[in-house]
């Protein structure tokens, strides 16, 4: 009986291929970046927001709030250029 060494190689290769993930599956979709903020950081962010809101309310009530028309125009132009719908 004659043993063909290429049959052994083929069988070993097929076994190897069975255990490998296909290229279509990929490994990138398994990895997801996440960010978690500590409770202290979340609390500080909330305090900063509340302080900013109080400052804006105070400026509006006192009549000292100034609208930055250039900033608004820049934002509108960037939205327009990005194709965003302005009425949404």
**CB-based contact 77:83 (threshold 8 Å):** no
Place of tokens 């070993």: 12
DSSP 66: -
| Residues belonging to the chain | 88
What six digits make up the tokens of 26? Answer: 């990929």
- Under the banding of pLDDT at 50, 70 and 90, the label for residue 85 is confident
- How many Cβ atoms are within 10 Å of 37's Cβ, its own excluded? 10
Contact in structure between 38 and 48 (CB atoms under 8 Å):
no
Largest Cα–Cα distance in the chain? 102
Task: Give 83's DSSP letter.
Answer: T
Taking only the tens place, the pLDDT of each residue in 22-75 is 665 555 567 889 999 999 999 999 999 999 999 999 999 999 999 999 999 999
């Amino acid at each position: 009986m004659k043993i063909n060494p290429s049959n052994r190689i083929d069988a070993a290769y097929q076994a190897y291929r069975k255990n490998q993930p296909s290229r279509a599956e990929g490994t990138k979709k398994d990895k997801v970046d996440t960010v978690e903020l500590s409770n202290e950081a979340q609390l500080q962010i909330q305090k900063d927001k509340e302080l900013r809101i109080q400052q804006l309310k105070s400026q509006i009530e006192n009549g000292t709030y100034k609208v930055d028309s250039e900033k608004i125009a820049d934002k509108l132009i960037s939205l327009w250029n990005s194709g965003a719908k302005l009425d949404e």
